[in-house]
Amino acid sequence: MDDRRRRFEAQALPHLDAAYNLARWLSRSPADADDIVQDAMLRAFRAFDGFRGGDVRAWLLTIVRNCWLSAGRAKQRRGHTVLEDSIVDAGPDPEETAIQTGHARRLEAMIARLPDDFREVLILRELQDLSYREIAEITGAPIGTVMSRLARARTMLREFVKEGA
Amino acid sequence: MSPDHFADHLLNTQSYLDGELTGAEAAEAERHLQTCAECQAFAATAADVSDALRKAPRYTAPAPLRAAVLARLDKEPVRFSPRSFWLGAAGGAGASALAAGFTLMLMLPPSIATLTQSVADAHARALTSGHAIMVASSNHHTVKPWLAAHAGLSPPVTDFADAGFTLTGGRLDEVAGRTAAVITYAHGNHEVDLFAWPDRGAGLPESGMALGFRTAFWKSGDMDFAAVSDMDQAAFRKFVMLARSQRE
C-alpha cells in the first residue's frame, strides 16, 4: 500500500459515516447516497495530494455536496424528477424499515420540502453539527447568508411540523 | 417578522443558541434574549426544530458501501509523482548544473511534464472546489461570449450532446501560471474539461495520465488545447476526436 493510500485511510476514511449521512439526507435515497459517496471518496482520493491540511471532514463533505449537485444535474439531464422519486421511493429497504419509524419518515418528508439552499444548511448544522464557518466553507456561501438561510429553514420547518401535527 | 428577512438581533440570538458566541458576546445575547419577545419566539422555534431533528436518524455507511469504496481505491493506480522524480533525478547533479537547470526551466515555456500535471491539477481543483463551472449553460451562444469576455479567448464551443457529451458551461482557470479558457462537458457522471490557451510555440505533451485523469493535448489554429477527464479510454478518445474536429 502506498503512502498516499495509507494517509487517506487514516485521515479521510474515518469520515465515511459523516459523508454517507450527508449524502443520505441530501439525496433522500439510499441508492443515490451510495453512488454519491463512492464517487466522492474516489474524487477525494485522487485529489488527496492537493489537500493542504486543515479540516479533512469539511473538505470531504464539500466534495460530497458537489457530487450530490452534479448527480442532481445529471438526473435532470436524463429527465428525472428528483423530488418525486425520493419521496415516493423512501423504499422497502430492510435495514431502513426498522429505523424509519413513522416519525422519522414524516420528518424526512418535511425536510424534503425545504428548498435545497435551506435544506443543506439545516442538515449541516443540525445533523452534522458543523459550525457556521464550516458550513460557509462547504457551501461556498458567506457566513451571513448561512445564518439567514438557517433561520429561514428553521422557521419553515417549524411551520411544516405545525401543519403536520 | 417578514418571512425572508431576519433582523440582526434574531440572527445574533440564533448564533448564541448554536453556540457560536463566547464570553461577553454570549452574555450580551443571553441578556437580550431575556427581554426580547421576538427572539424568545424564535428560540422556541429553533428548540422545536432541534428537538424534532434530534430524533431523526444519523445514517452510517453500510458495510457493503465501505467495501465498495475500498475496492475502488484498490483499482486506482499507484501514483507516479513527477516532483519526487525530478528531485531524485537532480539529486546526483552538481550545484551549478542544478542552478543552470532551474534557470533554463524558468526561461522555457511551461515544460511538457509541467503541462500534464498542471491541467490535471486544475481539473482536480475544479472538481473538489465546487467552482468547476462559472457560467452554467448548455448553449454555446452563452458560453462562448462569456469566455471571450472573461478569458479574452475565443475557442470554438460546441455541444456534443448527440454523441453523449453534454455542454455544461465554462470557467476561467490557470494552467502553468497562465490564463486558460475551460469548456466543461458531462458524460454520464463524468466531467470533462476542455482547456484552451493561446499557442506560444511550445511543444505539447503526449496523451497520458496524471492524478488518475486522462489527458490529451493538441494544437489547432492559434491555440493549444487539452482535454482532461476520468472517463474510460474509449469515451475519452471519442471526445478528443470530436473536440479536435470542431472548427470556428
ipTM, interface predicted TM-score of the complex: 0.80
Q: Is B124 on the interface with A (CB under 8 A)?
A: yes
pLDDT of A97 strictly over 70: no
**Which chain A residue has its CA at the smallest distance from B128's CA?**
A63
- A148: chain B residues, CB-CB within 8 Å: 5-6, 11
Give the pLDDT score at B54: 81
Cα of B5 vs its chain's centroid, Å: 32
Boundaries of domain holding B194: 111-245
Q: What number is the average pLDDT over the span B145-158? A: 85
Q: How much is the pLDDT for B68? A: 93
Q: Would an 8 Å CB–CB cutoff place B16 in contact with chain A? A: no
Domain match, A44 and A69 both: yes
Q: What is the mean pLDDT of residues B217-224?
A: 89
Judgement on whether residues B44 and B118 belong to the same structural domain of the protein: no
pLDDT at B96 over 80: no
> What is the rounded average pLDDT for all residues in chain B?
81
Mutation for A interface: B45, B50, B165, most A CBs within 10 A: B45
Interface of B with A in 91-120 (CB under 8 A): none
B211/A69 CB distance under 8 A = no
Contacts of B129 in chain A (CB under 8 A): 62
CATH of the domain at B164: 3.30.200.100
Q: What pLDDT, on a 0 to 100 scale, did the predictor assign at position A78?
A: 63
Residue B50 and residue B54: Cα distance in Å, rounded?
A: 6
Q: Which residues in chain B are closer than 8 Å to A49, comparing Cβ atoms?
A: 79, 81, 211
Q: Are residues B32 and B134 in the same domain?
A: no
What pLDDT shows up at residue A71?
A: 84
* CB–CB contact B10 A132 (8 Å): no
Q: Judge contact between B195 and B228, C-beta under 8 A.
A: yes
User: Does B240 lie in the same domain as B123?
Assistant: yes
C-alpha cell at B102: 532551474
In a domain? residue B12:
yes
| Tens digit of each residue's pLDDT (9 = 90 or more) over B27-44 | 999 999 999 999 999 999
Q: Do A46 and B213 touch (CB under 8 A)?
A: yes
Domain count, chain A: 2
Q: What is the band of A147 on the pLDDT scale with cuts at 50, 70, 90?
A: very high
CB pairs under 8 A between A and B: 155
The structural domain count of chain B equals 2
> A111: nearest CA in chain B?
B53
The pLDDT, as a whole number, for residue A40 is 95
pLDDT of residue B86: 39
d(CA A15, CA A152): 28
pLDDT at A47: 87
Chain B residues whose CB is inside 8 A of the A104 CB are: 55-57
Is residue B134 a part of any domain in this protein?
yes
CB-based contact B130 A65, cutoff 8 Å: yes
User: Within this chain, do residues A14 and A67 fall inside the same structural domain, yes or no?
Assistant: yes
Residue of A nearest to B210 (CA): A46
Among the residue ranges A101-105, B13-17, B88-92, B149-153, the one predicted with the least confidence is: B88-92
Interface of B with A in 151-170 (CB under 8 A): 166, 168
Chain centroid to CA B82: 21
* Same domain flag for B135 and B216: yes
What's the average model confidence in pLDDT over A50-62? 84
Q: Are residues A81 and A117 in the same domain?
A: no
Banded model confidence at residue B204, pLDDT cuts 50, 70, 90: confident
Put simply, whether B59 touches A (Cβ < 8 Å) is yes
- Judged by average pLDDT, the poorest of A37-41, A119-123, B57-61 is B57-61
- Smallest Cα distance from A107 to chain B, Å: 7
What's the pLDDT score for residue B113? 65
Contacts of B205 (CB under 8 A, 6+ apart): B112, B113, B115, B116, B215, B217
Q: Is the pLDDT of residue B226 over 90?
A: yes
A53 and A118 co-located in one domain: no
Place of cell 511543444: B203
CATH number at residue A82: 1.10.1740.10
Residues A164, B62: Cα–Cα separation, whole Å: 31
Give pLDDT, residue B142.
Answer: 83
**Do residues A5 and A77 both lie within one domain?**
yes
Residue B221 lies in a domain: yes
Q: Which domain holds residue A67?
A: 1-94
* Mean confidence (pLDDT) of chain A: 83
Q: Strand (E) positions, chain A?
A: none
DSSP B205: P
Tell me what pLDDT residue A149 has.
96
The pTM of the full predicted model, rounded to 2 decimals, is 0.57
Q: Tell me the mean pLDDT in the region B161-190.
A: 88
The reported pLDDT for the residue numbered A100 is 54
- Residue B81 pLDDT: 46
- pLDDT classification of B137: cutoffs 50, 70, 90: confident
The answer on B123 and B22 residing in a single domain is no
Mean pLDDT of A133-143: 91
pLDDT range class, residue B102, cuts 50, 70, 90: very low
Yes or no, beta carbons of B61 and A74 under 8 Å apart: no
